Amino acid sequence: MSKKNIDKNLNPSGVTSLEKGFFKGQTLGGARLRPMATSFLMGFTCGVPLVVIITLLQAWLKDGGLDLRTIGFLTLVSMPYSLKFLWSPYLDYIAPFGRRRQSWLLVSQLALIASLLALSMADPKNITQVTIFAVSVCFWSATQDIAVDAYRREDFFYNELAAGSAAYMWGYRLGMVAVAGGGLVIADWLGWRLAFTCVAGLILIGPLTLLFSPEPKVPAGSPKTLQASVVEPLKDFFSKSDPWLLLAFILFYKLGEQLIGSLNTTFFMAAGYSKTQIGVIVKAYGLAGTLAGISFAGYLVKKKGLIPCLWTFGWLQLLNNACLTALWLLPAENYYLATFITLDHMVVGAGSTVFVAFLASLTNVSYTATQYALLTSLMALPRSLLSSPSGVLVELLGWPGFYLLGAFLTLPGLAMLKILIRRGLSAPDEELPPELTQSDSPQSQEATEGPPSLALVKFPTSDAGGDEGSDETPDETPEATDTAYAPEPSLPEPGLPEPGADETQPPKPTSLQ
């Protein structure tokens, strides 16, 4: 078969001329360059609006003369981020302009730009006006998050998910830094209206990214009605083995980190560090540590696998939470704070990257938007619930006891992970054969339904099937079944070379001893 036909088979959604030119055959971190570039730039546009709400909005309102109680109350405008699962089924069911993912990305980004421009023209003393426009920013930002998460999941192979998550988080963090630093500087020198206008201009990176990011093929089995887009994703997820244990693991895996993270800045100040020390060191060393951790996680997952890395970084989170208590006992010196901040952000960045990749692998590409929104909302729930009682816990336990509690609360998630591993939790290996690795799309012509979702995938140890011609080819990505077992092998793609004998065996589950 010619290279042209192979590319056609693996790119059912079509590839732009730019992708076939500049991006063709290029890889980065073990993943194809075009999806990595898309993930990075989409991550940047997702990080920008979040900082508008948590940083710029508060500073703008304070400059406008509002009291702290009112500013604190207005933090509730961010609720759409926690409730995005309520409208996520619409993004799986409705395609405004015939393209399910690109349409929602474009709609949410243009609406986000309009909301930011409207916010820039509001009067900070008019609470009703500010609330309406700020909620609009959060709603469309959360909608963009749903569309970006779904696109990223459908754009990568399984073995590229960690690298894709790392690229996304690099962009996300840099978008946050650009707004948190640059936005405040512009506001200080040129005024808030221009600052918000410049932030809105950064969102234009999103529509420009769509010029070289093709629409993923709509998977077979995608919901045809609104009711199906709500019911089928839940039915699919709960058809997995131990779904409730999986949900409990998602809830508890980062529980300790989320508890102590809500009061880190207050802890540093109580340990004797000034606001200037904290600001400079956290911004510089924290950013460097986060980016290093994200990169290391992407590399390690490629070498060791997703599930072993979840286990490794879970224990590192526990040790990190406990070690932060040393700052309470050591003198308030810059090098101590810089060291602990760097290590803390490395562990958090690496753990978050692996966990985000794990959540993506749990989803079925037929219902990506709905399932991913549900899982990420569940992941964020402890942060919302623990922020209010954390101060009371510090009063009862003291700072060292509070951080040791954070370390202890990591153990339930690790125990659940160990149980899941023993019951067969694994990540399928989806490496392509050498003759197919130059393609720029993760889907084959016939297997448009995408790869099965990961969750306790128990692979048979004998030859699959037994019928002649039923060998599974590496470029096939069969649809997930209603059970937790590996899908039945499908017929080889017509015209493709027959797979070798070693390719007929299904991959073995990853386990930890």
Domains and CATH numbers, the chain: 30-216 (1.20.1250.20), 225-430+438-490+500-513 (1.20.1250.20)
Q: What is the pLDDT of residue 319?
A: 93
Q: What is the pLDDT of residue 457?
A: 36
Q: What is the pLDDT of residue 387?
A: 61
Q: What is the pLDDT of residue 462?
A: 34
pLDDT digits (tens, 9 = 90+) for 217-267: 877 767 777 788 888 888 888 888 889 999 999 989 988 888 887 677 778
Residues in the chain with pLDDT values less than 70 = 1-25, 29-30, 68, 72, 221, 262, 383-388, 427-513
Q: What is the pLDDT of residue 392?
A: 81
Q: What is the pLDDT of residue 456?
A: 41
Token couple for 166: 């790392």
Q: What is the pLDDT of residue 404?
A: 93
| pTM for the structure as a whole | 0.69
Task: Please write down the HEC assignment for all residues of 249-291.
Answer: HHHHCCHHHHHHHCCHHHHHHHCCCCHHHHHHHHHHHHHHHHH
Give every CB contact of residue 294 below 8 A, 6+ residues apart in sequence. Answer: 166, 169, 170, 173, 349, 350, 352, 353
d(CA 95, CA 104) in angstroms, rounded, equals 7
Task: Please write down the HEC assignment for all residues of 383-430.
Answer: HHHHCCCHHHHHHHHHHHHHHHHHHHCCHHHHHHHHHHHHCCCCCCCC
d(CA 218, CA 196) in angstroms, rounded, equals 36
Q: Count Cβ neighbours within 10 Å for each residue of 196-217 and write b for 16 or more, e otherwise.
A: bbbbbebbebbeebbebbbbbb
Token couple for 179: 């707004």
Give every CB contact of residue 317 below 8 A, 6+ residues apart in sequence. Answer: 254, 256, 257, 347, 348, 351, 410
